[in-house]
Amino acid sequence: QQQVKQSPQSLIVQKGGISIINCAYENTAFDYFPWYQQFPGKGPALLIAIRPDVSEKKEGRFTISFNKSAKQFSLHIMDSQPGDSATYFCAGYSGGGADGLTFGKGTHLIIQP
Amino acid sequence: GAVVSQHPSRVICKSGTSVKIECRSLDFQATTMFWYRQFPKQSLMLMATSNEGSKATYEQGVEKDKFLINHASLTLSTLTVTSAHPEDSSFYICSARDYGTSSYEQYFGPGTRLTVT
C-alpha cells in the first residue's frame, strides 16, 4: 500500500483553540479521504470525509481542506474541547477498487482545559 | 449509519492454540469486508480483504496460513488466528462497506483485543 503521511504525531491545544492535523498522500488513484477518531480500546469512528472534487468540507466544528495539486489534505477542529482528546487518523481510499483504507500513522491530540 | 459488530471483544488464549474472531454487518449486506491489525500506539494496518464466496486477498507480509479468513455469507466474515503466539497479541478490527449504496464510507467494528500468553 502506498503511504499516507500524517503530522504531527502528537498535538496539545488549549480548550477553545484550533487543532490542525495534516496529511499527504502518494496514490493518485485515491478518491475518498476520510478522517477517523479513535478512543483507547475502541474501533475508529468516521468523523468527516471528502472527495477530491471539492476543496473544503465543513461539518459542525470539523473542516477538511483539500489540495489536489499538492496531494495534501488537513483536518481543522474549531473550538477544541477536552472531549475531542483522542487519536485521529487520516486515510486514503480508492472507491472503485477492492482495496481497504490506507491510514496515516495517527495524531494523538490532547485538549487542555 | 450501518453497524458492524465483532465477537468476542477480548480474548486471552495460550500459545499454540487457535482463536476465531467474528465480524458481522448487522443491517446491510457486505460483499467485501476488511481486516486490520493495530499494535499499541500504532496505526491500523490492512491485513486482508475478505470477499464473500471467494478466497481472501492478503497484504504483503501477512501469512495466509496463519490468519485464515472465511466469508461464508453476506453478513459474516471470520478471522482465525492459528497456532497463536505472543507476537500475535494485538487489536484486530474489521470493517465493511455497504456496496448497495453509492457511499464510500467504511463502517468499523469495535475491535477484538487478542492476548496470547
Q: pLDDT at position B92, please?
A: 98
Q: DSSP assignment, residue B39?
A: -
Q: How far is it, in rounded angstroms, from Cα A98 to Cα A83?
A: 35
Pairing of strands A10-14, A107-112: parallel
At residue B59, what are phi and psi to the nearest 5 degrees? -75, 160
Indicate whether B65 pLDDT > 90. Answer: yes
- What pLDDT score was predicted for residue B97? 85
Q: Chain A interface, mutation test: which of B104, B107, B114, most A Cβ atoms within 10 Å?
A: B104
Model pLDDT for residues A81-103, shown as the tens digit of each residue? 999 999 999 999 987 766 789 99
Taking CA atoms, B11 is separated from B24, B39, B48, B93, in Å, by 17, 15, 21, 13
pLDDT band at A2 (very low <50, low <70, confident <90, very high): low
Q: Among A83, A89, A93, which residue's Cα sits nearest to residue A105?
A: A89
C-alpha cell at A82: 477536552
pLDDT of B12-38, one tens digit each? 999 999 999 999 999 898 888 999 999
Strand partners, B97: B106
What rounded mean pLDDT belongs to chain A? 94
Nearest to A106 among B43, B46, B105 (CB): B43
Contact A76, A66 (CB under 8 A): no
- Which residues lie below 8 Å from residue B8, measured CB to CB, with a gap of 6+? B21, B112
The pLDDT of residue B53: 84
Report which of B32, B42, B47, B117 is spatially closest to residue B77, judged by C-alpha positions.
Answer: B32
- Computed over every residue of chain B, the mean pLDDT equals 93
Inter-chain residue contact B108 with A93, CB threshold 8 Å: no
Q: pLDDT by residue (tens digit) across A21-73? A: 999 999 999 999 999 999 999 999 999 999 999 999 999 999 999 999 999 99
